[in-house]
Amino acid sequence: MKCLIQRVTCASVRVDHSVVGEIGSGLLVFIGVQADDTDQTVARMAQRLLNYRLFSDAAGKMNVSVVDAQGSILLVPQFTLAADTGRGNRPSFSKAAPPALAEHCCEALVSALLASGTPTATGQFGADMQVSLVNDGPVTFLLEG
């Protein structure tokens, strides 16, 4: 599983010109599910997303998690993150999870985030989405695992 996380002041997702998910301050998370991902992978990634310290403390150091900052999470499924780009000029998607597994993992991740009490919004699995955001910093990290 790969999660590209961005600290944002706001973010939203539109499908067919309608907003399907939006947040204020928090994390925009693009998720790419790989074929070998399991429920344990999802649980581990949920904990990392909730506890990863990328908001500034009073001293200006990145020591505050999204939970501690009382931020929100916008989770957007993004198949292309699972691509293997190691060779050539065209990505390979051989490591990407089949749609049923990918959707299950995305839904399980959303459930885990919501169960933590963290406000969580989502994009729409399998849809053509338009994502708008204001990256704060900019701060962007790729979490794998």
Q: Is 141 a catalytic residue?
A: no
Q: Which pLDDT does position 145 carry in this prediction?
A: 82
> Which one is catalytic: 9, 41, 79, 125?
79
Per the annotation, the verdict on 41 as an active-site residue is: no
Q: What is the pLDDT along the chain (145 residues), one digit of tens a residue?
A: 999 999 999 999 999 999 999 999 999 999 999 999 999 999 999 999 999 999 999 999 999 999 999 999 999 999 999 998 988 999 999 999 999 999 999 999 999 999 999 999 999 999 999 999 999 999 999 999 8
- Give domain 2-138's CATH number out of 3.50.80.10, 3.30.830.10, 3.40.50.300, 3.50.50.60: 3.50.80.10
The 10 Å CB-count burial string (b at 16+, else e) for 105-134 is bbebbbebbeebebebbbbbbeeebeeebe
Is 80 a known active-site residue? yes
Question: Considering 78, 118, 120, 122, which one is annotated as catalytic?
Answer: 78
Catalytic residue among 80, 85, 130, 140: 80
